[in-house]
Amino acid sequence: MAKEMTLLWGSGSPPCWRVMIVLEEKNLKGYNQKLLSFEKGEHKSSQVMEMNPRGQLPAFKHNNHVLNESYAACFYLESQYQSQGNKLIPECPAEKAMMYQRMFEANTLGQKMADVIYYNWKVPEAERHDSALKRNKEALTAEIKLWEGYMQKASGPFVAGKNFSLADVMVFPSVAYLYRFGFCEERYPKLAAYYNSLKDRSSIKTSWPPTWLESPVQDLLKDI
């Protein structure tokens, strides 16, 4: 079953991590995988381009089915293996509705986070403005306050309530990314509690980005 799957991935990429978490949650061990380096441009290699013409990771294939969008791959795996491993879509209608809402909101969190972290990388030096970076940081701060409020009102320890779900699969890698870049735990205690309660979950710990274990935390988000 898992031997018919191939995953090309990059360390530290939240989209790649999402797929790996679901594979672990569904007990799909022994799949073919290859760790590629973004720094070396390996995500633009012919092997990746054959699966994903955009030259992006992850690139995931099951038999002849190619799914390169992390949301698509995660939904596919949960649908195909509903009765295997941990169920990632709640039965409760209220919790299911919350799961869908929060998991798609994770896109906004990820985008606003990237606008700050990758500002100097994306914007040519001559076009950079302190005022633009300030606006990006303010937008990210407002977004994080929203999530802090969500966790404060949550009916359980997880994003959508009492059960670990696809919402956590989508949200946790972005939250972990915040801490990777020096996010302050004391300033947002509910998000910190969420992060610390999940970072040792088997599926997350097993798939933890290997490059994060080898290099120090950066302080880019210490003032957020």
As a whole number, mean pLDDT of residues 50-79 equals 96
Percent residues over pLDDT 90 in the chain: 83
Q: What is the pLDDT of residue 24?
A: 97
Count of Cβ atoms closer than 10 Å to residue 7 Cβ: 21
Q: Which domain-ending residue is among 28, 47, 80?
A: 80
Q: How high does pLDDT run on average in the chain?
A: 94
Confidence bin at 122 (pLDDT 50/70/90): confident
Angle at 218 between CA 127 and CA 12, to 5 degrees: 90
Domain for residue 87, yes or no?
no
What are phi and psi for residue 7, nearest 5 degrees?
A: -130, 120
82 pLDDT above the threshold of 70? yes
User: In this structure, what CATH number is given to the domain that contains residue 130?
Assistant: 1.20.1050.10
In 3D space, the residue among 158, 157, 3, 156 whose CA is nearest the CA of residue 88 turns out to be 158
Range of 183's domain? 93-214
Asked if residue 85 belongs to a domain, the reply is: no
User: Can you give the pTM of this predicted structure?
Assistant: 0.94
Nearest Cα neighbor of 163 from 173, 153, 175, 154 is 154
Range with lowest mean pLDDT among 32-36, 118-122, 162-166, 208-212: 118-122
Kindly state whether residues 99 and 195 are assigned to the same domain: yes
76 and 97 fall within a common domain: no
What's the confidence (pLDDT) of residue 1? 66
Q: Is residue 64 located within the same domain as residue 129?
A: no
pLDDT number for residue 2? 75
Percentage of the chain lying above the pLDDT 70 cut: 100
Q: Pick from 56, 80, 104: which residue ends a domain?
A: 80
Total domains in the fold of the chain: 2
Task: Give strand ranges (E) for 20-168.
Answer: 32-36, 59-62, 65-67
Same domain, 7 and 35: yes
- pLDDT band of 15, cuts 50, 70, 90: very high
